[in-house]
Each structure stands twice: as structure tokens, then as C-alpha cells.
């Protein structure tokens, strides 16, 4: 990936920044919003010090955003579009009906039918590679999280109408550590999966480190998700264990 940065009032100073694809640890694309928001957006997250995130805006009518997403996926995901196998024993919740749950607890993610989500994100909104499969699917209040054979995908509708949607991809190869946390008693309604990546941290105005994409957390509804099954799944994906025992 090459970034040409024209600087200064006269544009005489030009920086040519080159980042090999292996240094890019995640990426996202964002659709245009409603009314006067006409720009789409691309972000890439790197493991290069000082360049944790690079962003490029596009005119909505001038760029094929999902074509860009597909191109990035082919470049950054290992094996491009090679055959991938679903982890044996994973319950994809085929035929599962979304329970929706109480409004107060909808920020905590609940299970969705992964087979249905696989079909939807191959055909209606084509963000998945041809042979990539959704193994787990979850939904919070509006956001959706997909665990696929190649990556974790966060789908984040934004704004009052949810028209502006960011699709963030984190390849499994970029995740360097993980943990799960069970729920407590009484008023603690969520359990958690915690993921650390090799993406660079950013800094705030005082120079203090901000985790940004180096630390990810997914909150689940404790009554609908078996967090220890998630822990076992992550062990298979990230540690190379050969068996999945939910």
C-alpha cells in the first residue's frame, strides 16, 4: 500500500509512504450516511510504529466501496480465497430465532443463525470471500459480530437512522492473545471475550497510550451464550488445538 502525502502550502514537500501488505493487521470500510453525508471511508490498521491507522475518504458515487473491501480482503487475509473448513462441532444455530431479549440488555450480544448470516453477507451485502464461512454470529442493540473461518468482523451501524455502517475486519492471524470473563452474580448480565492484536496503540493529547484496535472486547448476554464454548473456539482458532468440545 502506497500513500502519497502532499504537504505544505505550495505542495512542494511530498512524502511517499510504502506499507507491505504483511504490515496491515486489519481494515474497515464505511458507507455514506444520510442526507448531506456523501463520503465513504476506508481505514487500514497497521503494526508499524507511528502509523497505527491510515484513513482515506472517497466520494460515494466515485468509488466501489465493497469492491475495495474485497480487494483488501484478498490482499490481507492469508491464503486469499483458498478453501477453508468450519471448526468441527461448532453450533452455527441453524434455524435459530433471534430472542431479541429485554431492551435494557440488548447491548450484550446474543446468538444469531450463522447459516442465515453467511448467506446474507455473501449475497445481499457481499463482504465475505467466496469460500469463507460464518461460524458464529451475534447481535447487540444494532451491531453484529461475525466469527468466520478467516476473521472477526464487526458491523457497526451509526447515526440516528443506522444508514452509515462500518465493516471492520480483524484477521485471526492479527490476534496475539485472548481471554474470557464469566459473569458475576445478581446485576452482572454480561460475560466477555477479550482479544489483543498486534496493531499499534495510539496516544491521546497528553501522550498517554490509547488501546484503539490493539484491544477488543465483545460483551455477551450471559443467559444466551456459553462463554466457555467461545473460549474453546478461540483456542482452536488461535492456538491450533485440533478438537472443539462445546
Question: What is the percentage of the chain residues whose pLDDT exceeds 90?
Answer: 60
* Residue 76 CB-density burial (10 A; 0-12 exposed, 13-18 middle, 19+ buried): buried
Locate the DSSP E strands across 70-214. Answer: 110-111, 134-139, 144-148, 151-158, 164-171, 175-181, 190-197, 202-203, 209-210
Question: What is the percentage of the chain residues whose pLDDT exceeds 70?
Answer: 89
- Output the pLDDT for position 186: 72
**What average pLDDT does this structure show over 71-83?**
78
Helix (H) or strand (E) holding 219: strand 215-221
Question: Is residue 137 a contact partner of residue 153, using CB atoms and an 8 Å limit?
Answer: no
DSSP class of 194: E
Question: Is residue 45 a contact partner of residue 52, using CB atoms and an 8 Å limit?
Answer: yes
pLDDT at 104 over 60: no
pLDDT confidence band for 49 (50 / 70 / 90) = confident
Q: What average pLDDT does the structure give for the chain?
A: 88
- Output the pLDDT for position 246: 62
**What average pLDDT does this structure show over 49-53?**
87
Amino acid at each position: 500500500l502506497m500513500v502519497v502525502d502532499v504537504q505544505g502550502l505550495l505542495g512542494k514537500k511530498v512524502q511517499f509512504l510504502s506499507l507491505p501488505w504483511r504490515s496491515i493487521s486489519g481494515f474497515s470500510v464505511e458507507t455514506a450516511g444520510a442526507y448531506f453525508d456523501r463520503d465513504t471511508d476506508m481505514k487500514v490498521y497497521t503494526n508499524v510504529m507511528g502509523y497505527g491507522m491510515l484513513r482515506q475518504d472517497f466520494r460515494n458515487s466515485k468509488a466501489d466501496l465493497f469492491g475495495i473491501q474485497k480487494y483488501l480482503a484478498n490482499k490481507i487475509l492469508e491464503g486469499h480465497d483458498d478453501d477453508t473448513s468450519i471448526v468441527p462441532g461448532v453450533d452455527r444455530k441453524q434455524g435459530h430465532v433471534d430472542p431479541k431479549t429485554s431492551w435494557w440488555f440488548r447491548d450484550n450480544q446474543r446468538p444469531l443463525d450463522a447459516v442465515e448470516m453467511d448467506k446474507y453477507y455473501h449475497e445481499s451485502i457481499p463482504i465475505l470471500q467466496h469460500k469463507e464461512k460464518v461460524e458464529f454470529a451475534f447481535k447487540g442493540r444494532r451491531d453484529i459480530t461475525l466469527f468466520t473461518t478467516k476473521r472477526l468482523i464487526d458491523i457497526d451501524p451509526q447515526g440516528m437512522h443506522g444508514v452509515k455502517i462500518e465493516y471492520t475486519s480483524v484477521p485471526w492471524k492479527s490476534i496475539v492473545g485472548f481471554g474470557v470473563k464469566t459473569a458475576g452474580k445478581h446485576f452482572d448480565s454480561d460475560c466477555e471475550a477479550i482479544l489483543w492484536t498486534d496493531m499499534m496503540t495510539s496516544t491521546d493529547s497528553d501522550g498517554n497510550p490509547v488501546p484503539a484496535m490493539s484491544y477488543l472486547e465483545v460483551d455477551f448476554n450471559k443467559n444466551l451464550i456459553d462463554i466457555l464454548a467461545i473460549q474453546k473456539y478461540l483456542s482452536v482458532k488461535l492456538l491450533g488445538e485440533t478438537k472443539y468440545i462445546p
